[in-house]
Amino acid sequence: MRTLKLSILKLHQSIGTIYVSKIKPSDLLAMSIVDRRRIEEDEEVLGIQRELKKDKVIQIQNYLSSIDATFPNSIIVNTTQKFIVNESESELELTIDDNTFTIIDGQHRVEGFREIDLDNFELLIAIFKDLRIDQQANIFSTINSQQTKVDPSLNLNLELNSKVYTPKKMMIEIAQSFNYDKESPWYNNIKMLGAKTDGIISLSAFVKPLLEITYPEKDYYLIRNELMINEKEFPTFSDFDYKADRYLFWDLYKRKDLNSTYKILFNYFKSLKVILDKDWLNKKSLLNKTTGYTAMIKIFKDVSKNGFENADLSYLFFFNILSPLSEMNGTITSENYGASGYKASNELYYEMKKTLIKSDVKFIA
């Protein structure tokens, strides 16, 4: 019989004793199961955990590839007396079995290590003993219902403190420029943390679609690693081969060319401000809210590919292409496209695209 000895610190709380220790991810994977909702004999069996989200696991795996990855919070598990070989005030010896632990909280973090071997990574683990299923479920429910989600815009603001110049940092600086530049079509209308004005669109909603046409989100930590390795000199990113017609701003980012990126977007938004003047910055309209903004960036991607190829992304370039949208001026409302969400944004985008195609505008496929 193989066993594992863990150095422990015992905590005593209302629910009972908790053993706090550290463990290698490989050991935890070898000794744990997750009690998930499942179907047995055509009936749903209520387990503790939600189904594993593969996208979340991939996101964690990408994060673990970063040079300074960390999980300082504990994985919470339960074990039973039958798996305990010896116990003292400072040590817990457990049988190595794939049922030793039931994971109460942290299943995605643990699963993230399944295909990654990090010798220098240890996990903090909090071990309960002999908890009933309802107690385990209550712990899981309490942890996951009482957590306060971090505002995505706050996360972006924290990126400004990064010592490396990530694509996120560049796009946040562009958003700041649009909000504080008095000549900007968005002047004082982006919700910046600490700003005195309310704004129409959040920082997160403004930046996210721009990042989607700059680089693949899954590569964020790879890009960040490259920046941290080449801290003294901005890297060339020669191994990052992104399609120019998909990631329009990648080449500009590689050159750290914030000014050109801002100017291109300035010209685009300025033309729409003139063409759709009844909707622009009208709080009764959807145009400058998340719904309309997402549609605008999709149209930008459609019309600007030719401009990038011919090095013409001037105000006149955008104005001439987008002028047919004037027939939609004053109609971009929730009554016509729905209040918000993916469906409403897509409906608006397709209506804009249909209007441009109908007018025989070039460069629209």
Q: Which of 41-50, 125-134, 144-153, 316-325 has the highest mean pLDDT?
A: 316-325
Per-residue pLDDT, 44: 41
Interval 45-69 mean pLDDT: 79
Helical ranges in the chain per DSSP H: 25-30, 54-64, 107-111, 133-146, 152-159, 167-180, 203-212, 220-229, 250-254, 258-275, 290-309, 315-322, 334-337, 342-358
Query: In angstroms, rounded to a whole number, what is the distance separating the alpha carbons of residues 157 and 351?
Result: 34
**Over the stretch 253-311, which tens digit does the pLDDT of each residue have?**
999 999 999 999 999 999 999 999 999 999 899 999 999 999 999 999 999 988 998 89
- Asked whether the predicted pLDDT for residue 25 surpasses 70, the reply is yes
* Crossing angle of the two packed helices 203-212 and 290-309, in degrees rounded to 10: 30
Interval 55-77 mean pLDDT: 91
Taking CA atoms, 347 is separated from 192, 255, 297, in Å, by 28, 35, 14
Query: In angstroms, rounded to a whole number, what is the distance separating the alpha carbons of residues 93 and 7?
Result: 9
Q: What is the dihedral of CA 199, 201, 203, 206, to 10 degrees?
A: -140
Per-residue pLDDT, 38: 43
365 versus 232: which is more confidently predicted?
A: 232
pLDDT band at 168 (very low <50, low <70, confident <90, very high): very high
Q: Are strands 201-202 and 190-191 parallel, antiparallel or unpaired?
A: parallel
Question: Structural domain boundaries of the chain?
Answer: 3-146, 152-358
Query: In angstroms, rounded to a whole number, what is the distance separating the alpha carbons of residues 114 and 29?
Result: 7
Check if the beta carbon of residue 8 is closer than 8 Å to that of residue 19: yes
- Asked whether the predicted pLDDT for residue 43 surpasses 60, the reply is no
3-state secondary structure of 142: helix
- Asked whether the predicted pLDDT for residue 327 surpasses 90, the reply is yes
171, amino acid identity: M
**Over the stretch 225-264, which tens digit does the pLDDT of each residue have?**
999 998 889 999 999 999 999 999 999 999 999 999 999 9
Check if the beta carbon of residue 199 is closer than 8 Å to that of residue 190: yes
Check if the beta carbon of residue 329 is closer than 8 Å to that of residue 276: yes
**DSSP 8-state secondary structure symbol assigned to residue 240:** -
- Asked whether the predicted pLDDT for residue 150 surpasses 80, the reply is no
Question: Whose CA is closest to 135, among 39, 45, 38, 35?
Answer: 35
Percent of the chain with pLDDT over 90: 67
Six token digits for residue 78: 């339960």
Main-chain dihedrals φ then ψ at residue 355, nearest 5 degrees: -65, -40
Query: In angstroms, rounded to a whole number, what is the distance separating the alpha carbons of residues 123 and 103?
Result: 13
Six token digits for residue 322: 């987008």
**DSSP 8-state secondary structure symbol assigned to residue 151:** P
Beta bridge partners of 339: none
**Over the stretch 333-349, which tens digit does the pLDDT of each residue have?**
989 887 778 889 999 99
Query: In angstroms, rounded to a whole number, what is the distance separating the alpha carbons of residues 73 and 71?
Result: 6
3-state secondary structure of 270: helix
pLDDT band at 52 (very low <50, low <70, confident <90, very high): confident
- Asked whether the predicted pLDDT for residue 36 surpasses 60, the reply is no
pLDDT band at 360 (very low <50, low <70, confident <90, very high): confident
Interval 2-30 mean pLDDT: 94
- Does the global pTM surpass 0.75? yes
Query: In angstroms, rounded to a whole number, what is the distance separating the alpha carbons of residues 287 and 156?
Result: 23
How high does pLDDT run on average in the chain? 89
Check if the beta carbon of residue 3 is closer than 8 Å to that of residue 85: yes
Six token digits for residue 360: 């025989």
Six token digits for residue 152: 């995505």
Q: Which helix (H) or strand (E) holds 43?
A: strand 43-45
Check if the beta carbon of residue 31 is closer than 8 Å to that of residue 123: no
